[in-house]
Structure 1
Amino acid sequence: MNHTPATLTVRALAKSVPGERRLFADLDLAVAAGELVAIVGESGVGKSTLLNILAGLDSSDAGAVSIEGVALGALDETQRTRLRRERIGFVFQAFHILPYLTLRQNVALPLALVSADAATIDARADAMLDAVGLGSRGDDYARDLSGGEMQRVAIARALVHRPALILADEPTGNLDPHTAGKVLALFADAVRQGDAAGVVVTHSRTTARIADRVLTLTAEGLKERHDD
């Protein structure tokens, strides 16, 4: 039996949206270091909202989220921001890539925010760009990228500071199948080799197959899914 302490612990989480429509309630989740969990579910069920709550970007109506034993609800906004910078990597659906920065500068942002030295920042950023197939593009500006290239930069940025918790919202939604396969392998390796906890929200069966567990989000919480 695995007795590794959970990096991410969620207890009795509940969230409703305006009009008192419940997204989910009584949601429990524990993700250990080195474990990758995929969350699937119907559109509108609250998958992206759940990720935002796990990252401390949104609040729940009830319940608690802890990262490495630190309860998000016990932190003020400054402390939550510091925790996100240092311990969380997030791949957003909308990328949030800064068009006026180079690819290297975009990927390096998490390292710069935690005051890594310049040599480490450049070396790690270049290594991550190479890992997602953009190693020759470090000096290019993000405004010149396609959607799929922006997605790869977003994934490199989320992984570069070796976070304890990696959250991803449809991380391969804009990638061709070949690139998606390479990026998924990178994502899974980053979780398992870096002893991070990974949570990925996806509609893709291919993405879900790389996970250690697949859970379906419902109004009653998370349910184990077993594919054929």
Structure 2
Amino acid sequence: MLNVTGLVKTVPGGRTLFERLDLSLARGEFVAVTGESGAGKSTLLNLVAGLDSPDAGSVCIDGTDIAGLDDDGRTRLRRDRIGFVFQAFHVLPHLDLAHNVALPLALQGHDAHASLVAAEAMLASVGLGGRGDAYPRELSGGELQRVAVARALVHRPGLILADEPTGNLDPDTAARTLALFVDQVRHAGAAVLLVTHSTVAASAADRTLVLSPTGLVERG
């Protein structure tokens, strides 16, 4: 599903975040990446998503080399093949929950009514059935992250990129949200690349890798 080969990335000032980074994810595999603050975990996600460009190396998703795509091609790849879950939720406050979740389908040009039906079904699957006409301001942090999970999965992407998805939640809510996230992505059969500081979140993965300037090292 995902193949990263020989990735090199430096930041202004010449500091190398990582070099010769290799990573492979099979469909249905769940991998967590940990590392010190500033190690480049979020940058790695941005490179995988085609939102940033490496200094060297390649990122291939389903056999497509991102470097060979123009801006429109990268946008289409993200729209069709990737789901995102962020620490800050990024739920749109002016849209009700159903329209928030349906957004990836709307961007793909699906029928509006069918998109809302699919969104309501996804909301039900994350424990928010019947709440499609509610607005984000009416929800708790844990509920907002459930909406974000539903939105990430509604268009059935092959790859989920998650950046500290429980970082803004209290421990109890984080544990419940993480369990729901794991259950939903396993059910969907998506590959997951999760970056996190949390050892609890990382423990949900099939394997955990530690990011350092020399690449990724499997944690024993």
TM-score when normalising by structure 1: 0.90
Does residue 202 of structure 1 match 2:183?
no
Give the one of 90, 112, 115 matched to 1:121: 115
**How far apart are residue 122 of structure 1 and its match?**
1.8
**How far apart are residue 193 of structure 1 and its match?**
3.1
State the match for 2:40 in structure 1: 46
**How far apart are residue 184 of structure 1 and its match?**
2.3
**How far apart are residue 142 of structure 1 and its match?**
2.1
State the match for 1:25 in structure 2: 19
State the match for 1:70 in structure 2: 64
CA spacing shift, 1:133–1:173, aligned 2, 3 Å: farther
**How far apart are residue 52 of structure 1 and its match?**
0.8
**How far apart are residue 178 of structure 1 and its match?**
4.1
Task: Check the 8 A contact 1:41/1:47 in 2, yes or no.
Answer: yes
State the match for 1:163 in structure 2: 157
> Is 45-54 or 134-143 further displaced after alignment?
134-143
Q: Distance in 2 between matches of 1:46 and 1:11?
A: 16
> Is 111-120 or 27-36 further displaced after alignment?
111-120
What is the percent sequence identity of the aligned residues? 64
Task: Check the 8 A contact 2:160/2:190 in 1, yes or no.
Answer: yes
State the match for 1:94 in structure 2: 88
**How far apart are residue 119 of structure 1 and its match?**
3.8
Q: Distance in 1 between matches of 2:104 and 2:69?
A: 20
State the match for 1:3 in structure 2: none
Structure 2, gaps ≥5 residues long? none
Task: Check the 8 A contact 2:87/2:168 in 1, yes or no.
Answer: no
Structure 1, gaps ≥5 residues long? 1-6
Task: Check the 8 A contact 2:142/2:174 in 1, yes or no.
Answer: no
Task: Check the 8 A contact 2:87/2:166 in 1, yes or no.
Answer: no
The letter for the 1-side match of 2:183 is D
Aligned residues: 220
State the match for 1:80 in structure 2: 74
The letter for the 2-side match of 1:117 is D
CA spacing shift, 1:134–1:177, aligned 2, 3 Å: farther
**How far apart are residue 74 of structure 1 and its match?**
0.4
